[in-house]
A = this chain, B = another copy of it.
Amino acid sequence: MDFSGEHIFLVEDDQTLNFIVRDNLEQNGYKVTAVDDGQKAITEFEKDKFSICILDVMLPKKDGFTVAREIRKKDDHVPIIFLTAKSMTEDRIKGLSIGGDDYITKPFSMEELLLRIKVFLKRSLKPDNTDGIPVARRVGVYNFYFENLILECGDKRKTLTYKEAELLKYFCENSNKVLSRSEILMNVWGSDDYYLGRSLDVFISRLRRYLKDDPDIKILNLHGIGFRFNARLGKN
């Protein structure tokens, strides 16, 4: 994903940190406006439109929260990430990251900051529509509702178990591709040993049974290598 054009507002009084963060953000394709005290922050914020704000909590003149309040008066929705000192309340606020704002305790790594920025920007790009109607995949003659664990053929409905659904989904996402046994195990089971391998065989056997109404769907075995899932797929 390309975030160029995203504009980040940075408020940090420590000159060194200010420079480093700014530089790193710019290296990553962001446009950055950086200031070093709370007073300037407020005047500067009014001049432009930002995608995200990064505020040091301890600032000369006006502290970060005051600045945050002023920002909120202008913009209800811009995400704010606070930079807080380690000493502050560490575990007391952990877990608060789900709400509108977030915080990072110093010292932090640039990777961490970049990651959080990415998460926020992604979130603001699309309204969270997670509770919409579950998407059906067409798998040959079947409809496969992964979220509901339903595999439907005409008016026959089969409710899959969670793991069956996971495996079928994985096959759909990698159809007509050779998948090694360990690749499948790592991606669906999360680990790989002999007995899980046998478990996989049991699941494959079961999926073949569920899918036998369409002769064009095949889970074929490559001896000693793995499997290939062949099917005509589509969205509804």
With A82-B16, A178-B149 known to touch, is A96 a contact of B107 (CB < 8 Å)? yes
Which residue of B21, B57, B76, B147 contacts A16 across the interface (Cβ within 8 Å)? B57
Contact with B along A84-116 (1 / 0, CB 8 A): 101011011111111111010011111100100
Chain B residues with CB under 8 A of A91: 86, 106-107
- Specify how many copies of this chain sit in the oligomer: 2
Using a CB–CB cutoff of 8 Å, the interface residues on chain A facing chain B are: 14-17, 19-21, 23-24, 26-27, 57, 65, 68-69, 72, 76-77, 80, 82, 84, 86, 88-89, 91-101, 103, 106-111, 114, 131, 134, 147-149, 159, 161-162, 177-178, 222-225, 228
Which of B21, B98, B108, B222 interacts with A159 by CB under 8 Å? B222
Chain B residue with the shortest CB-CB distance to A224: B162
C-alpha gap A163/B153 in the complex (Å): 38
Task: Give the distance to chain B from A98, nearest Cβ to Cβ, in Å.
Answer: 5
A27's contact among B99, B131, B159, by CB below 8 Å, is which?
B99
A225, chain B: closest CB distance, angstroms = 6
Q: Can you list 13 pairs linking A and B with CB atoms under 8 Å apart?
A: A14-B92, A16-B103, A20-B82, A20-B99, A24-B96, A27-B77, A86-B91, A92-B107, A96-B107, A98-B111, A99-B110, A148-B178, A161-B223
